[in-house]
Amino acid sequence: MTYESVNPSTGKLLKTYPEISDAQLEQALATAAAAFGQWKNVGYEQRAVIIHKAAALMQRHVDDFARLATQDMGKRISEARGEVTFSADILSYYAKHAEKDLAPKKLHPKVGKAHMQASPLGVLFCVEPWNFPYYQLARIAGPHLMSGNTVVVKHAGIVPQVAIAFEQLLLDAGAPKGVYTNLLISHAQSDRVIDDPRIAAVCLTGSVAAGRSIAARAGQNIKKTSMELGGADAFIVLEDADLDKAIPWAVWGRMFNAGQTCCASKRFIVLDAIADTFLARFRAALEALQPGDPMDEATTHGPLSSEAALVQLLGQVDVAVKHGARVVMGGKRMDRPGAYMQATILTDVAKDNPAFRDEFFGPVAMFFRVKDEAAAVALANDSDFGLGGCVFTRDAERGLRVATAVETGMMFINNIDWSDAELPFGGIKASGYGRELGDMGIQEFVNWKLVRTANHAAPA
């Protein structure tokens, strides 16, 4: 396998990068391990100078970084800029807050005194997806470098320009060589990295299939992992919802990043009393989107990340329809060059339809009508995934009740404002385990060591 940048809005191959050799990989791991020996002893203050500098460089060169994301995976340029800025914010946040999040915790034993103290684990191996090519890297680099770990990163094969630019960013900011290392490696090499005794822990953001393979391998090596996998989040609309607010969120929830977001709204579950109105307005709003070149600011509907992603999504829609789903709108590739999928709404997806349990990673919404709140919650929970979800209602108490009853790692009431530097992100069930970001995220890969001092005699 090679790392290729192919512009999905044109299909044009921009750049190819060969995988590194086994000897280069060995050198990279040795450098990362040696760097850990130094970096773990560098104080928070010194680490923060470097991470703050990286954030400032990102802010200064937003357009340059954003363009690479748009070229590699087709993200609309305004979204790419937003992602770069957010990534810089994440770096800054951890530069500022890591020391507080990892401060020793005093305990109160009956005898003597005790505390927990955090220390980094070592070299982390991080496998990352293409859909938020900077944010995903900032999400590991900010917290885990600030905690004193070093990281070696395998980014997705289709975003090599971004992968290389981010590594260069940290070097430009003054990170010693080996603190952050981008690895252009194959899956077989990735397996060997997981086995390598110099790797302390492994984290993945990606598909369930990748999670099964990587978590199993790490498990055989008794290495800690965190898994951020797929999702089929419910967008629940109760009959008292403010549709003027809910409809724009529904469009954003399904169409942001051309629908390629783990925690995108994928199942729209709407109470009967309001279902027809919601569906008509949702459809009209989707029809108003403007497909076009993702570099054009006027475009509101960009391409998918690759031709392969489009072919897979079209195949899933076909399977859904063969098993009885009805296409209310869209369902086809657009009649234009590039990997463009029509905004699509499917209804009548029965429980025995394979689509019912599937993740549609693109602009395909499944629409369900239900009789009441309890049925909405039951349907939301009838999923193999458990990442996020949201509920729209004017009644704060009902909102909280539904948010509590839905079995996921994250719930949003009257919004789907998924991610903030300080908010833990992650799921349950097939969506994975562990958290990234927030105080939980930064604590995921540290050793909380118990230290107890007591000078009494040993029991007889």
Running DSSP on this structure, what letter comes out for residue 457? P
User: x/- binding map, residues 74-113, to ligand NAP, per CB under 6 A?
Assistant: ----------------------------------------
Nearer to ligand NAP, 346 or 387 (CB): 387
Among 142, 231, 253, 363, binds ligand NAP (CB under 6 A): 231
Running DSSP on this structure, what letter comes out for residue 191? H
Write down the H helix ranges in 102-159: 135-140, 146
Cα–Cα distance, 291 to 252 (Å, whole number): 15
Per the DSSP assignment, residues forming a β-bridge with 3 are 17
Residue 262 appears among annotated catalytic residues = yes
300 Cβ neighbours under 8 A, 6+ residues apart: 76, 255, 289, 290
129 binds ligand NAP (CB under 6 A): yes
From 31-39, 42-50, 117-125, 151-159, give the range in contact with ligand NAP by CB under 6 A.
151-159
Residue 390 appears among annotated catalytic residues = no
Nearer to ligand NAP, 93 or 361 (CB): 361
Angle at 325 between CA 321 and CA 327, to 5 degrees: 80
Cα-only R_g, the chain: 23
127 binds ligand NAP (CB under 6 A): yes
Nearer to ligand NAP, 234 or 247 (CB): 234
Q: Are 55 and 95 in contact (CB under 8 A)?
A: yes
User: x/- binding map, residues 182-211, to ligand NAP, per CB under 6 A?
Assistant: -----x--x--------------xxx--x-
143 binds ligand NAP (CB under 6 A): no
In the block, tokens 């055989």 appear at: 220
Dihedral (CA of 300, 301, 303, 309) sign: positive
- Cβ burial of 191 (10 Å; 0-12, 13-18, 19+) is middle
147 binds ligand NAP (CB under 6 A): no
Q: Are 394 and 240 in contact (CB under 8 A)?
A: yes
Q: How far is the CB of 33 from ligand NAP (least distance, A)?
A: 20
How many angstroms separate the Cα of 416 from the Cα of each of 314, 380, 412? 26, 16, 6
Among 54, 156, 169, 201, binds ligand NAP (CB under 6 A): 156
Q: How far is the CB of 206 from ligand NAP (least distance, A)?
A: 3
User: x/- binding map, residues 355-384, to ligand NAP, per CB under 6 A?
Assistant: ----x-x-----------------------
For ligand NAP, how many residues bind (rule: CB under 6 A)? 25
409 binds ligand NAP (CB under 6 A): no
Burial 361-389 (b: 16+ CB within 10 A, else e): bbbbbbbbbbeebeebbebbeebebbbbb
From 27-35, 125-133, 176-184, 342-350, give the range in contact with ligand NAP by CB under 6 A.
125-133
Q: How far is the CB of 231 from ligand NAP (least distance, A)?
A: 5
135 binds ligand NAP (CB under 6 A): no
- Which of 126, 203, 262, 390 is flagged as catalytic? 262
- Which of 228, 359, 436, 444 is flagged as catalytic? 228
How many angstroms separate the Cα of 354 from the Cα of each of 46, 264, 345, 423? 52, 19, 16, 33
- Look up residue 51 and give its amino acid: I
Alpha carbon dihedral 30, 50, 203, 121, in 10-degree steps, equals 60
From 35-43, 71-79, 224-232, 269-277, give the range in contact with ligand NAP by CB under 6 A.
224-232
Interaction site with ligand NAP (CB under 6 A): 127-131, 154-157, 187, 190, 205-207, 210, 213-214, 228-231, 262, 359, 361, 387
Catalogue the active-site residues.
228, 262
